[in-house]
Amino acid sequence: MPKKTSCPVLKGTLVIFLLTIVLVELAARTPWAQKTFSYRSVDNFHYQFEIKWFRLQEYAEQNGGVDVIILGSSLVNTGIDPVVMAQAYFEQMGKRLRIFNFGVEGLSITPNSINAKILVDEYHPALVIYVTEMRDFIAGVGLEYEQSFLADPWIQYRQGKINLLGGLIDNSMALQIFLPYRNWMRTDFPQTIHFLRYRSRNTSANGYEPENAKGENVDSPPAANTPAEIENFETYGNYMTAPSRLENLESILSLGKNGRTKVLIVEMPVHPTFYVYVGGEAVHKQFQQTISSIVLKEGGSFIPAESCSAIPLEGRANRWHLNKLGAPAFSTCLGQKLVLLANQQNTDFINPDPLNSPAK
């Protein structure tokens, strides 16, 4: 009878395979690998989200933590410069806040309510600022990004749900280094990696990405019969706040009940001509009353748009976004408003946790 050799061979192959995985993982965690492979991924559909995620890790490591995390859409990404904001706060308080801009294009309040909890659990900031505006509360706005974000395995794992793939990605440095290059055989890969590098270079150490564009005719009210404006009037007209989006707001505000983190809701000072889309200033005021009543009920703080509306016309990229000329004005105002809020709440928004850095 021939000897059975398949079992020992199988065991040996398995041992070699497992040993290789361990060695690759150890190599991925060396300083050499971290320096050589500068891009990492958690297989999220949104490469800008990943840039911000890993940039925040670096920021927290280099600065010993983070005091303030600002969340929102592209309005935050290009509209708030943490350096300017921290300087305005420092000039009156004498303390330098560690502020990070986590604005991500296309993310509405629904995915941001999930992201806010993930970031608070990870970094325990003293203050979370969520910057919003009226479009954020329309049910269909940002729906495609919302669905992709919530279906992401890594996001699900970070929410505490059972997801083996998400857990593997979260705990494997080797996978995070490999994933940016996973589609290297696709014809569009060179363009994809080019945009990744470009956006990564343009994103500062504190998450801010300046916008160079200057808006044209921003101060002229939009006309409903103009072909370029028809979609905007259809999307934003007959304005109603979706109950589900208000629940998302309550979810963000609930983070302030942990005893460590305070929550501030800021309304973005969009150009006044935007309100033509939604039916005028009266509709805007009703929106503000709805939001401020929820914020007050949940124990948060609210800064309405008119509190920081002194934005030069040349500082706007369009009716919604600020450019690199408008961002400093808004950022300075926010820093000054934080001073008032700090004095009212008898705090300085400095994170007291010396261990406030991402888990390895």
Domains of the chain, earliest start first: 40-345 (3.40.50.1110)
The mean pLDDT value of the chain amounts to: 91
User: Mean pLDDT throughout 315-321?
Assistant: 96
Q: Tell me: the pLDDT tens digits for 228-274?
A: 899 999 999 999 999 999 999 999 999 999 888 999 999 999 999 99
Of all residues in the chain, what percent carry a pLDDT higher than 90?
74
Give the amino acid at 288. Answer: Q
Cβ atoms of 180 and 196 closer than 8 Å:
yes
2: pLDDT strictly greater than 60: no
Q: Quick check: helix, strand or coil at residue 81?
A: coil
Q: Tell me: the pLDDT tens digits for 21-52?
A: 677 777 777 877 677 777 889 999 898 999 99
Q: Tell me: the pLDDT tens digits for 333-353?
A: 999 999 999 999 999 999 887
The end-to-end CA distance of the chain, in Å, is 53
- CA dihedral (190, 196, 200, 202) in degrees, to 10, reads 80
Range in 26-30, 37-41, 133-137, 283-287 with the lowest mean pLDDT: 26-30
| Top mean-pLDDT range of 20-29, 177-186, 279-288, 344-353 | 279-288
User: Mean pLDDT throughout 211-224?
Assistant: 91
Of all residues in the chain, what percent carry a pLDDT higher than 70?
95
357: pLDDT strictly greater than 60: no
How many C-beta atoms surround the C-beta of residue 24 within 10 A?
16
The helix (H) or strand (E) run that includes residue 53 is helix 47-63
The helix (H) or strand (E) run that includes residue 343 is helix 327-345
DSSP summary character for residue 212: -
Give the model's pLDDT for residue 13.
77
